[in-house]
Amino acid sequence: MSATAWLWAHLSFALLLGGALMPLARRLELPARGREFVYGLAALLSLLPWQGVDLAGRLLAVSDFLSVPTLLLLALHAGWSVERLPRVSRRQRGALLLLAAGSGLVLYVLVLGRFAPDAYLPGYFRDMALLVAALAAVAWIAGLWLVALALLGALAAWQGGLLESPNLWDYLTDPWLVPFALWWGLDALRSVAKRPQRVGQISPEEDQRRDP
């Protein structure tokens, strides 16, 4: 494993474990420094050996490398959690997760089904890289800088072979990202459905105040 791939695996483990522990940290009302310590502890645990392989390597054997969008979202979450980064708008996150859900579903449904067994094949060629670059340009023009950053980051990592994979799909999506994106989308739809429709409605208190 190359040095960059090793770093990628350990960073992924630390961000995943740290993010998973953040609800507990908030419940314990840990300050920002305390939450930083949680992420630092997660990074140290990633180095802990277990039957000849460190914990990050164990996770890698189960999940494979995380994609660039997943790593970017985890890093942003870590930055928000320790109060080092401002929160990204719901529109930015939603656009990235919508793209992740759509592309992941297309890839996995086609690959796992019998519709297009070669759906994974375009990831080996530069034609797909040009398409991703064009999508990044469109996203940037539309003001969706998080999508553009994720796409360009995936292209750069693929071009540099950071994950030792020659397929661009491995840098764009992963089995962790798609279920999370779908869950987020369903949760957002439920939130919209539960939101009270206030337009054109007057509460009883307001109605009484308006009476002469």
Cα 4 to chain center, whole Å?
A: 20
* 186 and 154 both lie in a single domain: yes
* Contact indicator for 181, 98 with CB cutoff of 8 Å: yes
Whether 160 is covered by a domain: the verdict is yes
Helix (H, G, I), strand (E, B) or coil at 25: helix
The pair of structure tokens assigned to 198 is 């206030």
Domain shared by 101 and 155, yes or no = yes
Q: How many domains does the chain have?
A: 2
Q: Is the pLDDT of residue 201 over 50?
A: no
- DSSP track, 184-211: HHHHHHHHHHHS---TT---HHHHHHH-
Range list of H helices, 46-125: 55-63, 68-81, 90-112
Q: Binning pLDDT at 50, 70 and 90, where does residue 110 land?
A: low
* H or E segment to which residue 49 belongs: strand 49-50
The span from the CA of 174 to the CA of 67, in Å, is: 6
Same domain, 92 and 188: yes
Identify the three-state secondary structure at position 50. Answer: strand
58-105 pLDDT tens trace: 777 777 788 899 899 889 989 998 888 888 888 888 888 888 877 777
Residue 81 lies in a domain: no
Q: Which domain range does residue 155 map to? A: 87-194
Structure tokens at 53: 């392989």
Q: Residue 157's pLDDT band (boundaries 50, 70, 90)?
A: very high
What are the tens digits of pLDDT across the range 36-65? 999 999 999 888 887 777 888 777 777 778
If asked whether residues 39 and 112 sit together in one domain, one would say no
Same domain (yes/no): 94, 17: no
Nearest to 72 by CA among 148, 168, 165: 148
Helices 32-45 + 3-27 axis angle, to 10: 140
- Asked, for residue 78, whether it belongs to a domain, the answer is no
Global pTM? Answer: 0.79
